[in-house]
Amino acid sequence: MKSSPLGLSLLLAVVLLGAGGGSPAVARDTVLLKNGQTREGQIVGVSGNNVQLRINEATAGIPLGDIQEIRMDAPSEFEAAATQLAAGDTANALVALQRINDTFAGLPAPWAQRAAALLGDAKLAGGDSNGARAAYEQFRQTYPEATALADLGSARLAVEEGQYDEARTLVSGLLAASPTTALAATGEGAALSQAHYLQGRLLESDGDYQGALENYLKASVVFSGDPNAATAAQARADALRADHPGLIAP
């Protein structure tokens, strides 16, 4: 007896549902361990010194000291918070960044490091200098290897508080690689974007508007890896050219 097309279709539907075809796909994160082993699942946060990895219905803690590398895309909430901060929506960005850091602080992933640094930036943008200082200090403790981002936070705070000599010392070290860098890697480009923005702020405070403009344009065009710094730099470049029509773009 031959099977009808309808019967075959129903059978195929049952097979697909049984294989999970009817359930929405869940992103799988990868944890590479120092012993060469690999764990896959959904990273749901960091608790104490352990990354919490959900595998099926169970959640296991993996010690941070055992981890070689984390492969996990940044959550959409992080991208939205970064966009909000760049657009000046500081209040909502701060709420989202605090929530992200409460969940993922300490995760050895570039986006998690950036989220921790942006928390300080958001507090500073909201006028909370003490909160920003505490966030930057916490960042240094949580990610001691991320010296560039830590120094950028300290330099940003120094600029906002008018401590220009301290800021110059920090920024000069960060800009050392800029003249020899034509195409920066993602992380390096973000750091250079922020550093050139801060250098522009310093030069503008000195009255060197041409030098400030050049650094703002480097931050917004040449090294535009950090959207927040690029947006702020472009705004200040536009304001400088409006106030000083004789300035020449490099």
- Does any domain span residue 97? yes
| Shared-domain flag, residues 178 and 215 | yes
| Shared-domain flag, residues 59 and 139 | no
pLDDT band, residue 16 (cuts 50/70/90):
very low
For the chain, the first-to-last Cα distance in angstroms comes to: 81
Task: Domain of residue 42: give its range.
Answer: 19-71
**What span, in angstroms and rounded, lies between the C-alpha atoms of 140 and 133?**
11
- Report the side by side order of strands in the sheet with 67-71: 58-63, 50-55, 38-47, 29-33, 67-71
Contact assessment for residue 136 and residue 150, using Cβ atoms and an 8 Å cutoff:
yes
Using DSSP's 3-state secondary structure scheme, residue 194 falls into: helix
- Does any domain span residue 11? no
**What span, in angstroms and rounded, lies between the C-alpha atoms of 12 and 8?**
6
Residue whose entry in the numeric block shows the structure tokens 């690999």: 38
Contact assessment for residue 61 and residue 50, using Cβ atoms and an 8 Å cutoff:
yes
CATH number, domain containing residue 231: 1.25.40.10
- Does any domain span residue 136? yes
Closest CA to 198 of 137, 242, 148: 148
The pLDDT value given to residue 227: 83
**What span, in angstroms and rounded, lies between the C-alpha atoms of 139 and 119?**
9
**Count of structural domains within the chain:** 2
Task: Specify which residues 62 forms β-bridges with.
Answer: 51
> What are the Cα distances from residue 14, in Å, to 40, 56, 66, 69, 232?
27, 22, 42, 39, 55
Query: Above pLDDT 90, what percent of the chain?
Result: 68
- Phi, psi at residue 216, to the nearest 5°? -60, -40
- Does any domain span residue 178? yes
| Shared-domain flag, residues 64 and 149 | no
- Phi, psi at residue 241, to the nearest 5°? -70, -30
| Shared-domain flag, residues 232 and 113 | yes
Amino acid at 246: G
- Does any domain span residue 180? yes
Task: Specify which residues 52 forms β-bridges with.
Answer: 45, 61
CATH number, domain containing residue 32: 2.30.30.100
Query: Mean pLDDT, to the nearest integer, of 117-144?
Result: 95
pLDDT tens digits, 90-105: 999 999 999 999 999 9
In this prediction the pTM is 0.78
The pLDDT value given to residue 77: 96
| Shared-domain flag, residues 57 and 160 | no
pLDDT tens digits, 183-212: 444 457 788 899 999 999 999 999 999 999
**What span, in angstroms and rounded, lies between the C-alpha atoms of 152 and 168?**
11
- Does any domain span residue 94? yes
